[in-house]
Amino acid sequence: MPMSREERSKKRRLDGGNSVASTVIGQDGTTVPRQIAIGDIVNVASRTWPGINKPGGVGLVTNITPVDNSVKYDVTYVLGGRENGIDAQFVQLN
């Protein structure tokens, strides 16, 4: 069933007009965070501290692996390179 004009307008306000919403409207009218899926463009946080030099950046999710109560993401970066097994805490929808 297509969304009404009012529903589209409400969704547009929630996601700032972007085509990929970081929140979605549930059936009861509440907003819930949108889950990251394979094929989504994400922002990976920089992880640079002593012994670690992973600059992060913008990339495409290529695989999602569930681990215990969390997930790990495989990402192919827009500017080249790829990284596997990134903890969910470092990945956000772009």
pLDDT at residue number 92 = 95
% of the chain exceeding 70 in pLDDT: 72
pLDDT at residue number 25 = 74
CA gap 78, 82 in Å, rounded: 9
pLDDT tier at 7, thresholds 50, 70, 90: low
Residue 67 clears pLDDT 90, i.e. is over it: yes
Average pLDDT over residues 25-53: 89
Residue 90 clears pLDDT 80, i.e. is over it: yes
